[in-house]
Structure 1
Amino acid sequence: MNNSGRKKDQEICVMLSSMNQKGMDLLFDAYYKPLVVWADTFLRDMNLAEDVVQDLFVSIWKDKVYLRFKPETLSSFLHVSVRNRCFKRIEKRDVFRNASVLDHVELVFEEYNERHDQLVSRVLEEMALLPERSREIMNCVFLEGLKYREVAERYGISVSTVKTLLGNSVKKLRERLNKELFSGFLLFYCRWR
């Protein structure tokens, strides 16, 4: 992320931490369109992509998720949340075909979404404590889905260095997170790779 993006994320987080509505407006202005395009790559349905992103923004405000935002993890949190919500929408289509009690299924998914947002936020907090290069490599591998070779080329380092940094980062997360949170990390970051 460039300096202007970091500065914007810093401004957004400062405003939101003081519960200033303008922070939500800035968040929307900065991320809405890119997140809709991101969601559309999974869903291939622009209207549904907009619904997913709008639902995320509503959830962020309603559940006060924004109080846990940190500038260094804001973009990753938003992109991972949108990606996971898209996958849940895709899964939900299949579940709804076979579900006999739709109201119950919807309730389960709502509870799952809320728990997911809390889990992702906590994992991102721990990731923010990692050294910058380690965070960047984890984002490349887990968020962008790049191969080790592609990450090595991007940063001008060897594939073995990428593997070492990634392995050390995952090990640190395993030590810092309880079993449920680490399992959540594996589920949400490694599942779709």
Structure 2
Amino acid sequence: MNDSGGNKNQEICRLLRSGNQKGMELLFDVYYKSLVVWADTFLRDMNMAEDVVQDFFLSVWNGKTYKKFEPATLASFLYVSVRNRCLNRLDKQDIFHHAVELDHVDLAFEEYNERHDEIVAKVLEEIALLPDRSREVMNGVFVEGLKYREVAERYGISLSTVKTLLSNSVKKLRERLDDEFFAGFLLFFYVLK
């Protein structure tokens, strides 16, 4: 991750350890979108992914799990926790076969930093190949960091259309990109912030 990510993690942990709810808000702002996309790679259902991530944030706050957060391991903890919640959800639904190969995704995260520029270029290239409206939605959410509602207002489409276009675009990228590049996509907008 870049320095701003590390600084944000330090600020999140500092605020949360002091019991300041602003830490939770910052955690949400920094990680929510990437965790939803991450959850969607397992669940293949954007609405369910949002539910899982929202439930996870609630459990972190209510269970005071945040008191154990460390800046250096925060991102890993969040991604692993959300992945585990998704797998539990899938296990309950008996559709485990939809999950991606975890070993490949874990390896991809390890290799991500080494090939950052190449990965970002490839992800941008794949986004550019999407249909116009899908590309606009992806750029709005991931490159510009807009909220779903802001993208919907900008293009005069419904919130559910934004979510559908986003979900379909993520699935297309998942099919076109190998695990390393897809993991890079998951970190893509976080790194660009």
Question: Would the alpha carbon gap of residues 143 and 18 (structure 1) be closer, same or farther in structure 2, given more than 3 Å must change?
Answer: farther
| Number of the residue aligned with 1:94 | 94
- Pick the structure with greater CA Rg: 1
Pairing 1:146–2:99 present: no
Pairing 1:65–2:26 present: no
Question: Would the alpha carbon gap of residues 18 and 152 (structure 1) be closer, same or farther in structure 2, given more than 3 Å must change?
Answer: closer
Asked which structure has the greater RCO (Cα within 8 Å, sep 6+), the reply is 2
Contact map agreement 1:39 1:83 (CA 8 A) in 2: yes
Pairing 1:55–2:15 present: no
Tell me how far apart the structure 1 counterparts of residues 47 and 35 of structure 2 sit (CA, whole Å). Answer: 13
Q: What SS does structure 1 have at the residue aligned with 2:71?
A: coil
Question: Would the alpha carbon gap of residues 151 and 26 (structure 1) be closer, same or farther in structure 2, given more than 3 Å must change?
Answer: closer
Query: Which aligned pairs between 1:3-152 and structure 2 lie closer than 5 A?
Result: 3-94=3-94, 144-146=105-107, 151=111
Contact map agreement 1:12 1:23 (CA 8 A) in 2: yes
Tell me how far apart the structure 1 counterparts of residues 113 and 80 of structure 2 sit (CA, whole Å). Answer: 23
Displacement of 1:143 in angstroms is: 8.6
| Number of the residue aligned with 1:122 | none
Task: Give the residue type in structure 2 aligned to 1:4.
Answer: S
What per-residue deviation string (whole Å, max 9, x for no partner) do you get for residues 71-112 of structure 1? 0000000000011110110001129xxxxxxxxxxxxxxxxx
| Number of the residue aligned with 1:106 | none
Tell me how far apart the structure 1 counterparts of residues 75 and 8 of structure 2 sit (CA, whole Å). Answer: 11
Tell me how far apart the structure 1 counterparts of residues 7 and 87 of structure 2 sit (CA, whole Å). Answer: 31
Question: Would the alpha carbon gap of residues 4 and 38 (structure 1) be closer, same or farther in structure 2, given more than 3 Å must change?
Answer: same
Question: Would the alpha carbon gap of residues 75 and 38 (structure 1) be closer, same or farther in structure 2, given more than 3 Å must change?
Answer: same
Report sequence identity in percent.
62
Tell me how far apart the structure 1 counterparts of residues 103 and 41 of structure 2 sit (CA, whole Å). Answer: 17
Q: What SS does structure 2 have at the residue aligned with 1:19?
A: coil
Q: What SS does structure 2 have at the residue aligned with 1:146?
A: helix
User: How big is the alpha-carbon RMSD for the aligned residues of Structure 1 and Structure 2?
Assistant: 2.6
TM-score by length of 2: 0.52
Task: Give the residue type in structure 2 aligned to 1:154.
Answer: E
Tell me how far apart the structure 2 counterparts of residues 43 and 11 of structure 1 sit (CA, whole Å). Answer: 31
Tell me how far apart the structure 1 counterparts of residues 65 and 112 of structure 2 sit (CA, whole Å). Answer: 34
Contact map agreement 1:35 1:53 (CA 8 A) in 2: yes
Tell me how far apart the structure 2 counterparts of residues 153 and 37 of structure 1 sit (CA, whole Å). Answer: 19
Task: Give the residue type in structure 1 aligned to 2:17.
Answer: S
Tell me how far apart the structure 1 counterparts of residues 112 and 76 of structure 2 sit (CA, whole Å). Answer: 20
What per-residue deviation string (whole Å, max 9, x for no partner) do you get for residues 104-158 of structure 1? xxxxxxxxxxxxxxxxxxxxxxxxxxxxxxxxxxxxx9694227xx849938xxx
